[in-house]
Amino acid sequence: MTITPVILCGGSGTRLWPLSRKSYPKQFSSILGERSLFQRSAGRLAADGFAAPIVVTGSDFRFIATEQLSAEGVDPGAILIEPEGRNTAPAVLAATIYALRDDPEAILLVAPSDHLIPEPGAFREAVAAGLAAAEEGKLVTFGIAPTHPETAYGYLELEQPPQGEQRPFPLVRFVEKPDVAAASQMLEQGTFLWNAGIFLFRAKDMLDAFAQHASGLLEPVRAAVEQARPDLGFLRLAAEPWSSAEDISVDYAVMEHASNLVVVPYPGRWSDLGGWDAVWRETEGDARGVATSGGATAIDCDDTLLRSDSDSLEIVGIGLKNVIAVAMNDAVLVADSSRAQDVKLAVSALKQKQAPQAVQFPKDHRPWGWFESLAVGERFQVKRIHVKPGAALSLQSHVHRSEHWIVVEGTARVTVDDEVRLVTENESVYVPLGSRHRLENPGKVPMVLIEVQTGRYVGEDDIVRYEDVYSRP
């Protein structure tokens, strides 16, 4: 029996700010190593016995997802675009309804895209251990053997300690995130597992579960799938019915009410990387528990995470204990390790200040590449623009600004009104205010240029698009 993975990748991951932000959340970031968590998730399920995945994500991430899948060598079966985030229950239901259109006996494995599972083979063995139960009509979830009294996870209670057995166990109950005392007691008792939020089931059984426990979601989500429209290889769910679907997790909507749910224990390493304390635990540290990465230096520190995600910024810690310090080009986080789960409060505080760092990543990723702002003044902005080989920006104009482009790497094909020409390294071009212009990379290597904008307003919304190969409005 072939299993179809459903990879959910629409979250924002605010507890890993400043690396994870709304415009570029943690699942697409290189937190541990070169591959993103999303790529690791897709690669983990690209194996014998698994079909091409169904990916559910937001419109802003659709090109990031396809680019990272391509780099991983994974061809998706479908990419469903959510018009807006409505939590995991509508997302799971949409994938379920979509899968049933082609295969009434489809078996799905729902997996978040931001979890760290370093042993993919062992994880696939756990999935195989639950397959027979799924074929019998059970909803299978996976529980992680706890290693410490964690307060950031929900728990699953079993009737008996699993004692290393990897088979489906009856579920007694779900347990909400506990306090330290309760978590310590559950760890000692041995009948509790961390709730991984990973589910294996026949699509028709999940549809029945929604009909029984969350029937209000059926009509809007089914309509959103049935009225979906293709868009450059993606499938855009219909916005109007989708907006009326309840914003609720699949745990609350279905799983906590289902009577046919079983748990397969997974004894291997796992983390949802739900905070910088989790990243510290997963980063190889020294004998004093100090983990550093990038341009970070620790002097006489203990149990501390020092991380620089900027090529031009060095961070140095002296005499620190139980501290998290993460530096980027535009923001720095310093926190006591015990307050790692409170990092989301920083995001809320920055939103109240209307600080762009709350949601906007320093590099603004676009389907053609990315750009970052190097300097901003009252009437100017300087950017570095990176264009992928063969990619092209839209044909556009601006109402409030003119632009100077200086190519520093590669070759650009530049359109300014009726003139089209090649611009190579150390050459520049001027784009007057109001001119229709386009930038393309006709080469086989990335093209990088420095853009200097001048005018009354240099915001990203000062763009009038006439043509766009990516069908953006």
Mean pLDDT of the region 167-178: 93
DSSP state of 73: T
Residue 470 has what pLDDT?
A: 87
Band (pLDDT 50/70/90 cuts) for residue 410 is very high
Residue among 409, 412, 407 nearest 452 (CA): 407
The two tokens of residue 32 are 């541990």
Lay out the sheet containing 380-387: strands in order across: 363-366, 369-376, 380-387, 447-455, 401-409, 428-431
Query: Are the C-beta atoms of 193 and 158 separated by less than 8 Å?
Result: yes
The helix/strand/coil state of 211 is helix
434: left (phi over 0), alpha (psi -120 to 50) or beta: left
**Residue-wise pLDDT tens digits, 43-78:** 999 999 999 999 999 998 999 999 999 999 999 889
Query: Are the C-beta atoms of 198 and 110 separated by less than 8 Å?
Result: yes
Residues above pLDDT 70, as percent of the chain: 100
DSSP state of 372: E
Residue among 173, 175, 257 nearest 215 (CA): 257
Any long-range contacts for 457-462 (C-beta under 8 Å, 24+ apart)? 457/400, 457/401, 458/376, 458/379, 458/380, 458/381, 458/400, 458/401, 460/364, 462/398, 462/399, 462/400, 462/401
Q: For residue 348, give the amino acid letter.
A: S
Mean pLDDT of the region 242-249: 96
Q: Is the pLDDT of residue 258 over 90?
A: yes
- Mean pLDDT rounded to a whole number for the chain: 94
Query: Are the C-beta atoms of 264 and 130 separated by less than 8 Å?
Result: yes
Most distant pair of Cα atoms in the chain: their distance? 75
Band (pLDDT 50/70/90 cuts) for residue 311 is confident
Residue among 378, 375, 364 nearest 463 (CA): 364
C-alpha dihedral over 410, 411, 417, 420, to 10 degrees? 180
- What's the rounded Cα separation, in Å, for the pair 295 and 286? 16
Mean pLDDT of the region 279-306: 95
Residue 241 has what pLDDT?
A: 97
Q: Is the pLDDT of residue 170 over 80?
A: yes
- What's the rounded Cα separation, in Å, for the pair 416 and 113? 42
- What's the rounded Cα separation, in Å, for the pair 1 and 328? 46
The helix/strand/coil state of 267 is coil
Please compute, for residue 206, the number of CA atoms within 13 A of its CA located in the half-sphere on the CB side.
33
Rounded (10°) angle between helices 88-102 and 218-226: 50
Residue among 304, 212, 200, 309 nearest 259 (CA): 212
Residue 137 has what pLDDT?
A: 96
Q: Is the pLDDT of residue 11 over 80?
A: no
Query: Are the C-beta atoms of 53 and 74 separated by less than 8 Å?
Result: yes
Strands, DSSP E only, in 152-244? 155-158, 169-175, 192-202, 229-231, 234-236
Per DSSP, what are the bridge partners of residue 171? 158
Mean pLDDT of the region 11-36: 90
Give me the residue label for tokens 């905070």: 275
**Residue-wise pLDDT tens digits, 82-106:** 999 999 999 999 999 999 999 999 9
**Residue-wise pLDDT tens digits, 342-398:** 999 999 999 999 999 999 998 999 999 999 999 999 999 999 999 999 999 999 999
The structural domains of the chain, ordered by start, are: 3-266 (3.90.550.10), 285-340 (no CATH), 363-467 (2.60.120.10)
